């Protein structure tokens, strides 16, 4: 199984000016998010990253499972403490994937609100799951979160985890070195966390495939709305014109987007 080399990742982090620690890399685990949450509540600081070659109980948004075939992807979860607006973290994590792909000459990718990364053909290449801890932590009293990022790397067409998915290999023909990709992903995430939000929001709007499209959105609780995605506001919420008014969508799944017009 091809895993990132923690020493190589640490070397790249230092060379790129990122102060985060060497990642914790394991062959298999239940869920990297669960592992990182455990370390967060035990006092781990921002930048502690757990990476696995396989997850046996990976999870996605809204209680879904996350398929993570052995060796086929890069599954990582990173601790973030003291970030003042946790609702922005999924957007920043999506941008970190875009930044990392650009940095290493990977495929052209875009974001889909709120937390998917798409290849140029519109298929899903990566997903984000941010889980926050609001209760008092073992060290200090500030809330924290774990940013889980799953990237499909080496799947062939016949082994894709779900309809509408793709992989780095399919989108770009070349499988990236996992140590380099992980290091650049962490560098990019650190940069996004420390960059002015206004700049990241402008970047997100520029590469968001959702904006300007007709959408159907499944809301928490089971309701669905239809309309046209107009903008992402200062808090990272989606603004949708449903034909009667502009509605602010805090959370939901975009289940369909028409061709941009």
CATH number of 6-207: 3.30.930.10
What DSSP line would sit under 129-158, residue for residue?
EEEEE-SPPSSSS--EEEEEEEEE-S--GG
- Is residue 225 a contact partner of residue 242, using CB atoms and an 8 Å limit? yes
Domain residue spans in the chain? 6-207, 214-257
pLDDT of residue 138: 47
Summarize the chain as % helix, strand, coil (round to 5).
30, 30, 40
Closest CA to 126 of 79, 189, 80, 82: 189
pLDDT of residue 2: 86
pLDDT of residue 65: 53
Give the separation between CA 79 and CA 98, rounded to whole angstroms: 20
Give the separation between CA 125 and CA 165, rounded to whole angstroms: 6
pLDDT of residue 259: 44
Q: What is the pLDDT along the chain (261 residues), one digit of tens a residue?
A: 689 999 999 999 999 999 999 999 999 999 999 999 999 998 999 999 999 998 887 655 444 555 556 678 999 999 999 898 888 999 999 999 999 999 999 999 999 998 899 999 999 999 999 998 865 544 444 479 999 999 999 888 877 878 889 999 999 988 999 999 999 999 999 999 999 999 999 999 999 999 999 999 888 888 888 999 999 999 899 999 988 889 999 888 886 555 444
Give the bridge partners for 28, in sequence order. Answer: 54
CATH number of 214-257: 2.30.30.100
- Is residue 98 a contact partner of residue 204, using CB atoms and an 8 Å limit? no
3-class DSSP state for residue 25? strand
């Amino acid at each position: 199984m091809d895993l990132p080399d923690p020493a190589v990742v640490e070397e790249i982090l230092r060379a790129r000016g990122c102060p985060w620690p060497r990642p914790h890399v394991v062959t298999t685990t239940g869920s990297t998010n669960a592992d990182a949450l455990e370390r967060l509540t035990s006092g781990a600081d921002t930048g502690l990253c757990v990476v696995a070659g396989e997850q046996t109980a990976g999870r996605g948004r809204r209680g879904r499972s996350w398929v993570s075939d052995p060796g086929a992807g890069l599954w990582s979860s990173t601790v973030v403490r003291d970030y003042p607006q946790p609702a922005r973290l999924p957007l920043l994590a999506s941008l970190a994937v875009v930044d990392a792909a650009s940095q290493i000459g990977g495929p052209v990718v875009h974001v889909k609100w709120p937390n998917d990364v798409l290849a140029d053909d519109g298929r899903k290449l990566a997903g984000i799951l941010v889980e926050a801890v609001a209760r008092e932590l073992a060290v200090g009293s500030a809330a924290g979160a774990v940013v889980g990022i799953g990237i499909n790397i080496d799947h062939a067409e016949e082994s894709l985890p779900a309809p509408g998915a793709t992989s780095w290999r399919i989108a770009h023909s070349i499988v990236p070195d996992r140590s380099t990709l992980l290091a650049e992903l962490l560098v990019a995430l650190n940069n996004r966390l420390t960059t002015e939000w206004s700049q990241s929001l402008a970047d997100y709007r520029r590469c968001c495939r959702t904006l300007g499209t007709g959408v159907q959105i499944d809301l928490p609780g089971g309701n669905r709305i239809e309309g046209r995605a107009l903008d992402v506001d200062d808090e990272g919420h989606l603004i949708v014109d449903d034909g009667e008014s502009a509605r602010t969508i805090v959370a939901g799944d975009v289940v369909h987007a028409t061709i941009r017009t």
